[in-house]
């Protein structure tokens, strides 16, 4: 009798476990209502947490999620004013209100069935087009986006900065609202760190310029007046006594004050072997500078 009783009890417990698991499975796949889905999305935006946004069901890019983590202002007091079923059973429209930076906004969000549940669609996102007076990209936190290109972002307030932020300064706050296009233009300036990075890059260029060879390289600012003394040149060896010092502008650079020694070996105009050393104390270079998302690139003329 005792064994039978335990079997009955154990069997009943198993039925309870199976029933509970079935209920949880049904709950997980059951579609929420459009109103619940809209509130989930608004609350996710209020949380400022990218994972919570993803859990709400909205389809959003990694760039938008990374930028959202750096948002400087979040929506608050999100409410659903009314929801209208679009009549097809798979789409609905929700009128919502929320506060952002002390201002109240109202807008409409559309919803659809995504993977068996109601979710806010792309109308829940806004777009941003940013420009900068210097550089090809702007930064939102650690995320960079190209200038002049529309990027979809989650509704919030963002600080848009000139990129790379380690080399350029200048930033603007901008609100991104659902279904709206925001624009901003950053007035950028060159940081001292950019000059230091440019000097280091220039020194690498100068090292390549002064590799031993038989011809004077282009784009290196090197002028050797050997034409009147040599009929043929067998080798040119260089020594940098002092590198030119670089100065940056938003789109270019000038490097001045270098001292360069060049030793030329070859055949003189008289047909005899000849070695002559030339020295200049005014070695200068000019060129273009371009700022990318995370670096700068010098292009000497």
DSSP 48: T
The SS3 of residue 142 is coil
| pLDDT score at 19 | 37
Decide: 184 and 139 in contact? Cβ < 8 Å.
no
- Tallying the residues shown for the chain, one arrives at 301
pTM score of the predicted model: 0.82
Average pLDDT over residues 139-144: 97
pLDDT tops 60 at residue 253: yes
The Cα 115–Cα 196 span in angstroms is: 52
Average pLDDT over residues 48-67: 97
- pLDDT tens-digit profile of 71-94? 999 999 999 999 999 888 899 999
Residue that is written with structure tokens 């000059």 in the block = 195
Average pLDDT over residues 259-288: 97
Give domain limits for the chain. Answer: 32-185, 192-300
pLDDT tops 70 at residue 214: yes
> Which residue in 46, 35, 95 sits closest to 68, CA to CA?
46
Average per-residue pLDDT for the chain:
90
CATH of domain 32-185: 3.10.450.50
Give the pairing type, strands 76-85 and 91-100.
antiparallel
140: left (phi over 0), alpha (psi -120 to 50) or beta: beta
- pLDDT tens-digit profile of 22-32? 333 333 443 48
The Cα 183–Cα 272 span in angstroms is: 70
pLDDT tops 70 at residue 153: yes
Decide: 125 and 107 in contact? Cβ < 8 Å.
no
């Amino acid at each position: 009798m005792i064994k039978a009783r335990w079997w009955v009890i154990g069997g009943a417990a198993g039925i309870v476990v199976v029933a509970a698991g079935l209920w949880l499975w049904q709950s997980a796949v059951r579609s929420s209502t459009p109103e619940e889905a809209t509130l989930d999305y608004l609350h996710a935006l209020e949380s400022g947490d990218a994972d919570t946004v993803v859990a709400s069901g909205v389809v959003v890019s990694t760039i938008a999620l990374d930028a959202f983590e750096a948002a400087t202002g979040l929506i608050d007091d999100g409410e659903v004013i009314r929801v209208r079923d679009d009549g097809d059973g798979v789409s609905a429209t929700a009128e919502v209100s929320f506060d952002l930076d002390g201002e109240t906004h109202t807008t409409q969000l559309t919803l659809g069935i995504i993977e068996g549940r109601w979710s806010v669609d792309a109308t829940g996102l806004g777009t941003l087009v940013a420009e900068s007076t210097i550089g090809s990209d702007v930064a939102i936190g650690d995320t960079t986006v190209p200038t002049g290109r529309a990027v979809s972002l989650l509704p919030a307030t963002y600080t848009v900065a000139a990129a790379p932020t380690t080399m350029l300064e200048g930033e603007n706050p901008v609100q991104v609202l659902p279904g709206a296009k925001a624009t901003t233009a950053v007035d950028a300036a060159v940081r001292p760190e950019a000059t230091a990075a440019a000097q280091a890059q220039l020194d690498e260029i100068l090292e390549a310029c002064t590799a031993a060879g038989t011809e004077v390289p282009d784009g290196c600012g090197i002028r050797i007046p050997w034409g009147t003394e040599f009929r043929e040149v067998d080798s040119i060896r260089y020594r940098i006594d002092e590198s030119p010092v670089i100065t940056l502008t938003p789109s270019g650079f000038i490097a001045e004050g270098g001292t360069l020694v060049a030793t030329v070996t070859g055949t003189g105009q008289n047909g005899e072997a000849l070695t002559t050393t030339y020295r200049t104390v005014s070695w200068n270079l000019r060129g273009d500078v371009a700022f990318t998302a995370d670096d700068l690139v010098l292009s000497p003329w």
